[in-house]
Amino acid sequence: MRKNVERMAQNKIPGQRFLLSYISGLLAVICCLVPLASYADDNPLSLMRDDVLSYFRPLKGKVVSVNNGMAVINAGERSNVKKGMRFIVFREGSVFLHPVTKAPIGTLEAVIGKAEVKEVGYDTSTAVILNGNVKVSDKVRISETGVRMLFYQGKNVDWSLGDSYYRLIKETGRFEIVDTAIETDNDSEVIAEAKRLNVDVVLILSAKESAGDTMLKQRLLWADNSLKFAEDEVRVAVAFIKELRFGEEFFGPQKGDVRTFVDLPFGVRLITAGDIDGDGKAELLMSTGSDIRLYSQGAAGYLSGLYEIKGTPNDDHIWLDVLDINRDGKDEVILTLVKDNMVVSRIYEFKDGNFSVLWKGDVFLRRVGNELIAQEYEMGGGDKGAV
């Protein structure tokens, strides 16, 4: 169970008080640097983090043969492929046009299925086909899209140690870390929670004492089938943990620190920021789950209400982002929601003081860098169909 207010405010904010600024943040950063300066590249937490990242490097390849549910891919150790990695298998289709200008933006890709690497050679790897009618010449990919991860810290893990590792994972920007309030040592309960939260991967952190030090273990499991695909254990010296605690005591939040809070008359589920009206300043966009409300931030952290995109009580927002799609200096609002048990997406444009629907479709829209991808999504089944 994660108990840090900042974490709860990242993507889903269950309460009605939104933390806008925290004056001691700079000191907290210094705190994080203290142990790193002492241990440099020998920081055991950095080693574990790098191992996690190694399974989610963006990669591309092609299927060169298929036989008895197994696919051979033209990428291996030389391309940093590892046993346990999962590839999305897709097939190229027609050109995807800009919703307004009709100019070609990219190529539609039909997602065929998924494949998990079981054996790795120097130039090739063999993967079991998890689903889909995979054929020779199909392409495979690990995309740059953020991976949804449930980070679960066991009861036996020192809080300072687990918190520092959580931050290292979060700061990579590779993962959309989902929080949970459950407290259990039962893996099956953690996996059940992961499935409920619709995450891709679960990181379970546990610890035990060994000769005065701490043996910190992480396990990575795929949420859909509970399969463990990686395990790593490092020795953490007691002096390292003491430095973490020292940093929390002297540089962390103190009783007299000043925080700025804003009371909102609604709960915030999703939040993002972008220059919606083209004035050169970023506005805050907050989703209540069915409506989107825009605010500007003034002096002393006060928020001023600007605009609203009104939904219906049946709307259930699951993704909110912004992107200047037509390069006019104003960000469009990208929204994916569940409506009538269907996943649909809309792009809103702000013009002449009002929002209008620029595009809509029965797909899951995501922003990847400065690009927008659209993929069919089936409730209970996940991603499928065209990208």
pLDDT digits over 208-233, tens only? 998 889 999 999 999 999 999 999 99
Instruction: pLDDT band for 110, please (50, 70, 90 cuts).
Output: confident
Decide if pLDDT at 7 tops 80.
no
Spatial contact of 177 and 166, defined as CB atoms under 8 Å apart: yes
133-156 per-residue burial string, b: 16 or more CB within 10 A, e: under 16: ebeeebbbbbbebbbbbbbbbeee
Spatial contact of 264 and 287, defined as CB atoms under 8 Å apart: no
**Short-list 245, 237, 248, CA closest to 42:** 237
For residue 53, what pLDDT is reported?
96
At the top level of CATH, the class of 5-14+146-251 is alpha beta
Across-strand partners of 321?
A: 334
Return the CATH number of 264-386, one of 3.40.50.300, 3.10.580.10, 2.130.10.10, 3.30.70.580: 2.130.10.10
Separation of alpha carbons 176 and 191, rounded Å? 17
> How many other CB atoms are found less than 10 A from the CB of residue 315?
19
**Short-list 278, 282, 270, CA closest to 338:** 270
> Where along the chain do its domains lie?
5-14+146-251, 59-142, 264-386
For residue 332, what pLDDT is reported?
95
Region of poorest pLDDT, from 75-84, 234-243, 349-358: 234-243
Mean pLDDT over 127-155 rounds to: 93
For residue 265, what pLDDT is reported?
59
> Do 59-142 and 264-386 fold alike per CATH?
no
For residue 231, what pLDDT is reported?
96
Separation of alpha carbons 7 and 341, rounded Å? 29
- Domain 59-142: what homologous superfamily? FlgT, C-terminal domain (2.40.10.410)
